[in-house]
Amino acid sequence: MGFDGKLDGTNWICAMTDESTPPDLARPGSLAQSNSVSARSRRILVGLLLLGAILGAVSWVVAKPKAVHRPPPVSEIPHVNGRQIEFPEQFAKRIGLRTETVRQTDLIPTVAVVGTVEFDPQHVARIGTRLRGLVRDVKHLEGDQVKRGELLAEIDSPELGEAQASVTMLNAQAEAARRNADRESDLAEQRLTTLKESEDANANKDTVRALLGAARQKVAALAGTPGELRERAIGVHELLSPLAGTIVERRISKGQLVQADHTAFVVANLDYLWVELAVFEKHLAQIQDGDEVELKPMGSKVDLLRGHVAHVGSVLDEGTRSATIRVRVDNKQRKLRPGQAVDAVIRVAAAAVRGGLVIPNSAIAYIDGKPTVFVVEQPNSVTVTEVELGASTESEQQVLSGLKPGQMVVAAGTFELKSELFR
């Protein structure tokens, strides 16, 4: 080796070079040549290291991502200045802000209520058994269409059989009494009998006739119709429909023992129904007979039905402070069913407004309990304005003061603007 065993930071390359030197070059005569080779190797190695450092620096500079120039973000937060709210265009788009013009037009106020569909009492019949007996036969079921006078069921009734037997017996007695009275009258004219016997015969005829009439009335009362109008089997009570319609209830079965007060059938003409609406006291004064009513079954997508107020209740419910309003409905298309809940809108013609200022209901926000609107004075700026309200419909509201015709108000986005006032 060409060094004394001590290795520092400057001659480690030389040491490595000396170790790799062939034996013939290590002789003392070749020392100068060895030093020259070591110096040249060091210069080459340093140059390579410098070149690598330069290439690494260049590649780092080239690979370094360039800074992208981005504009500063635009704030979407509105600025509230007193009763003025200013907001950027991005905020208006985000909340879906929409405006409407204050219009001057006629308005018929409406009252929205709920109600229940009921049978029209003039077009419904509850058919009772009238007699105690055993159900002999049932001719119809629920949903069947029946005509007036059509047979619904038959009941075996001992009570009716006794009454009918009495009529039959008295019929025979009445005929015998009539003949006896006629014979006594003929004999009295021929002076073959006394006048008293003739009078007694006529009196007996009248008595039997009266008893026959009473027996027939009893049969009619038990059977529901005069016995002579329909031929009946003795002791068989026939339940007949008193009107044309639909059997909506059947509470009788073959072989059933029924009492005299049992309701066997309910027959109704479903073309005609009532809707009973519960209307609060404050609205009753202006609602009148004939006012138009729009009806829709609750939770249904069928078209609106139209009816008219037929009666305004005179008695208030103490608990709800409401009265019942009856609406007559044409139900020939069978869109309503008895017992069904409905939503109703009554158009109160007596409270109609002529030429009033009108805005959408959605434009109104209540701030501190006061009705308020957001008036658009200039683009992206609104003014908080208190208003006085008048009559209303299901979609529009009359404004008595606070606005002028032609002004623009916010109709969509009022909730978000109201929230900014309390931020």
CA distance 221 to 288: 43
What is the reported pLDDT for 30?
47
Query: For residue 63, what pLDDT is reported?
Result: 59
Average pLDDT, the chain: 83
Give CA separation, 331 vs 116, 206, 265, 280, 303, in Å.
14, 54, 22, 26, 13
Confidence of residue 126 (pLDDT cuts 50, 70, 90): very high
Residues whose CB falls within 8 Å of the CB of residue 197, separated by 6 or more in sequence, listed in order: 184, 187, 188
Q: Is the Cβ–Cβ distance between 331 and 270 less than 8 Å?
A: yes
pLDDT given at position 17: 41
pLDDT range class, residue 34, cuts 50, 70, 90? low
| Position 67 pLDDT exceeds 80 | no
Q: Which of 2-11, 282-291, 336-345 has the lowest mean pLDDT?
A: 2-11
104 burial via Cβ count (<10 Å: 0-12, 13-18, 19+): exposed
Give the range among 12-21, 61-70, 241-250 with minimum mean pLDDT.
12-21
Q: State the pLDDT at residue 280.
A: 92
When pLDDT is averaged across residues 202-227 and rounded to a whole number, the result is 82
First to last CA, the chain: 86
Per-residue model confidence as pLDDT tens digits over 138-182: 999 999 999 999 999 999 998 888 888 888 888 888 888 888 888
Q: What is the pLDDT of residue 18?
A: 45
Q: How confident is the model at residue 375 (pLDDT cuts 50, 70, 90)?
A: very high
Question: What percent of the chain lies above the pLDDT cut of 90?
Answer: 44
Cβ neighbours, 10 Å, residue 259: 10
Average pLDDT over residues 15-32: 44
